[in-house]
Amino acid sequence: MSENKSRNFIEEIIEEDIRNNKHQGRIHTRFPPEPNGYLHIGHAKSICLNFGIAKQYNGKTNLRFDDTNPAAEETEYVESIKEDIRWLGFDWEDREYYASDYFQQLYEFAVQLIKAGKAYVDDSSAEEIGKMRGIPTVPGILSPYRDRSIDENLVLFEDMKTGKYKEGEKVLRTKLDMSSPNMHLRDPIIYRILFTPHHRTGTNWCIYPTYDFAHGQSDSIEGITHSICTLEFENHRPLYNWFIENLDIFPSRQIEFARLNLEYTLMSKRKLLQLVNEKIVDGWDDPRMPTISGIRRRGIPSEALREFATAVGIARRENVIEISKFENIVRAQLNKIAIRTMAVLRPLKVVIRNFSSELEWMEIVNNPEDPKSGKRKIPFGKEIYIEADDFMESPSEDFFRLTLGGIVRLKSAYIIQCEEIVKDKNGDIEYLLCSYIENSRSGSDKSGLKPKSVIHWVEVSNCISATVRLYGNMFTVPDPSNYEDIHSILNKESFIEISNAKLELEMKSANKELRYQFMRKGYFFQDKSSTSQNLIFNRTISLKDSFLK
């Protein structure tokens, strides 16, 4: 806690609470996902906030699955959520909780409310209740069942619990204020009947608490001091507090912050599920997905995600983060750790006429950003591959690479000059005939030549083929959430597969945990399906390219 460091508004609240010795200075947060989908980068912001702030103030963070709706929730999601949080680097220790752990307690809270005359069973249909609720500018009307006796309510609620009624036949509502300008206070429903089996409690229950009746009480039961959620729950806060006061339980405090919005990125679980269901993507962990598992498969280190979550800031103002902010952090992270290697994505063969048929071994550094990473030797020979677009037959003026008659430096090797273009019957370039400049070897260059550019290459008989996958934004517009029809804004080029890239032979035993930089092409990470027999590299992100064309 440095004195002059600027604090976000939540840190200010917490420090104020600590100064006042509120809850004896205890800080306890929670991350409360509903297990109905995979976690995405927006959740990552929340995870980092909740776990980060607890750590910062010597507090604890619970993982609590908000599983009060059996119709949507599945164990598969529980597992993925836990894996993702662990990968992000956070530990909830033994505090793995479920709102469903509290069903009995919540039921008793409901009974308590009924006994206090503050809740009633309503026989109205969903439609009728909706109608009677009114609209924000017009008060609602009282349900005809609102004044049932406490005893009758007790019996009816018990009957709901024992399965005497069908789904939708009855609900339990609070007796609050049907004319409140806050719609959430117009006798909100707190229990409904659902016969779908629950992923944890099975068929033990057929009545389930709603979010409003479960969340705050769960916080309270766990002694959560600061319950951090997103802005859309702001209007729920009066209700959150009402339950705490009327149940007379531990006063957790709800604090709302603005959720993360990212350019070109969809955060809606519903629409992400649609992408998965319609097989527009290769599952929840498709490298184009903003899910934590997709981000992981793409090769983005968790540290970059954590740094991003911090960098975007915590405030109460709606925001849209530029994708460049994210990319900047990912590149900065990868630049430090990636092993440099040469890989030719779209090979063009070059025959160096005046070079011997013997191989010559060249030295190359593994990572110029990390002196400890060392050097290695790579073979250079008479036939090499270069990147097809590193040669231009009729170059523009700002093209610095190889041209007919021009020279270019081969990274860590010689300068070559292109003398002839050999084409096939169709007029397509088959290969290039070049010569090398003998005294231009890297490290002992006496040629005096100054090529405008350095390009990567691999030696033909010492390389392996691999599949390389390039990814781009999934959508063509920066604000996909504003479009209901996602099909019309899908980026057709968000996924490009190259099946015959040429990699340095050493890459046959590439480490699946390591990040690589294919020099001048970007950062790459092996796909989960990659094997040494069938190498598959996902491009995490390209390098910045100031040669725009």
> Which pair of structure tokens corresponds to residue 231?
């802005």
> Which pair of structure tokens corresponds to residue 341?
């290697």
Among 56, 58, 75, 235, binds RNA (CB under 7 A): 235
> Which pair of structure tokens corresponds to residue 157?
């609620």
CB of 200 to RNA, least distance (A): 14
| Interaction of residue 234 with RNA, rule CB under 7 A | yes
Find tokens 């037959």 and name the residue.
Answer: 393
Quote the CA–CA distance of 188 and 176 in Å, as a whole number. Answer: 8
Among 175, 306, 441, 515, binds RNA (CB under 7 A): 441
CA 173: distance to chain centroid?
A: 37
Quote the CA–CA distance of 232 and 192 in Å, as a whole number. Answer: 23
Among 13, 22, 26, 34, binds RNA (CB under 7 A): 34
Among 314, 343, 418, 541, binds RNA (CB under 7 A): 314
CA 290: distance to chain centroid?
A: 4
Nearer to RNA, 64 or 288 (CB): 64
CB of 511 to RNA, least distance (A): 18
Contact map string, positions 473 to 512, toward RNA, x by CB under 7 A: ----------------------------------------
Q: How many residues of this chain bind RNA (CB under 7 A)?
A: 91
List 26, 55, 82, 259, catalytic entry: 259
Nearer to RNA, 7 or 377 (CB): 7
End-to-end Cα spacing for the chain: 48
Q: Which of residues 97-116 bind RNA (CB under 7 A)?
A: none
| Interaction of residue 142 with RNA, rule CB under 7 A | no
> Which pair of structure tokens corresponds to residue 224?
């959560």
Helix, coil or strand: residue 258: coil
| Interaction of residue 82 with RNA, rule CB under 7 A | no
Among 31, 90, 308, 399, binds RNA (CB under 7 A): 399
Quote the CA–CA distance of 41 and 261 in Å, as a whole number. Answer: 9
Burial class (CB within 10 angstroms; exposed 0-12, middle 13-18, buried 19+) of 10: buried
Residue of 427, 345, 332, 438 lying closest to 388 (CA atoms): 345
Nearer to RNA, 398 or 485 (CB): 398
Strand partners, 121: 172
Among 74, 152, 307, 445, binds RNA (CB under 7 A): 445
| Interaction of residue 31 with RNA, rule CB under 7 A | no
> Which pair of structure tokens corresponds to residue 197?
């089996």
- Could you tell me if 367 and 338 are in contact, meaning their C-beta atoms sit under 8 angstroms apart? yes
- Could you tell me if 97 and 63 are in contact, meaning their C-beta atoms sit under 8 angstroms apart? yes
Instruction: Give catalytic status of residue 327 as yes or no.
Output: no
CB of 244 to RNA, least distance (A): 18
Q: Which of residues 453-472 bind RNA (CB under 7 A)?
A: 453-456
Instruction: Give catalytic status of residue 269 as yes or no.
Output: yes
Helix axes 150-161, 103-115, angle to 10 degrees: 160
Stretch that binds RNA, among 274-282, 463-471, 516-524, 526-534 (CB under 7 A): 516-524
- Could you tell me if 106 and 138 are in contact, meaning their C-beta atoms sit under 8 angstroms apart? no
Strand partners, 432: 350, 421
Stretch that binds RNA, among 77-85, 89-97, 374-382, 452-460 (CB under 7 A): 452-460
Q: How far is CA 403 from CA 8, 98, 354, 453, 514, in A?
A: 55, 65, 18, 11, 35
Stretch that binds RNA, among 77-85, 88-96, 448-456, 504-512 (CB under 7 A): 448-456
Nearer to RNA, 123 or 158 (CB): 123
Nearer to RNA, 53 or 286 (CB): 53
Nearer to RNA, 189 or 429 (CB): 189
| Interaction of residue 19 with RNA, rule CB under 7 A | no
Contact map string, positions 160 to 189, toward RNA, x by CB under 7 A: -------xx--x---------xxxx----x
User: How would you classify residue 158: left for phi > 0, otherwise alpha for psi between -120 and 50, otherwise beta?
Assistant: alpha
Find tokens 């709302």 and name the residue.
Answer: 256
Quote the CA–CA distance of 287 and 290 in Å, as a whole number. Answer: 8
CB of 531 to RNA, least distance (A): 27
Nearer to RNA, 263 or 282 (CB): 263
| Interaction of residue 321 with RNA, rule CB under 7 A | yes
CB of 426 to RNA, least distance (A): 26
CB of 184 to RNA, least distance (A): 6
Residue of 137, 56, 541, 91 lying closest to 330 (CA atoms): 541
Q: Which of residues 40-79 bind RNA (CB under 7 A)?
A: 66, 68-69, 71-72
Instruction: Give catalytic status of residue 34 as yes or no.
Output: yes
Q: Which of residues 325-344 bind RNA (CB under 7 A)?
A: 325, 328, 331-332, 335, 340
| Interaction of residue 15 with RNA, rule CB under 7 A | no
Q: Which of residues 358-377 bind RNA (CB under 7 A)?
A: 367-369
CB of 167 to RNA, least distance (A): 6
CB of 69 to RNA, least distance (A): 4
List 11, 22, 34, 83, catalytic entry: 34
Stretch that binds RNA, among 145-153, 229-237, 279-287, 464-472 (CB under 7 A): 229-237
Which positions ≥6 away from 407 have C-beta within 8 Å? Answer: 415, 416, 417, 418, 437, 449, 451
Nearest 10 degrees: Cα torsion 426, 432, 433, 434: 160
In order, the DSSP letters of 435-500 are: EE-GGG-TTS--S----S-EE-EEEGGGEEEEEEEEE--SBSSS-GGG-S-GGGGB-TTSEEEEEE
| Interaction of residue 151 with RNA, rule CB under 7 A | no
Catalytic residues: 34, 259, 269
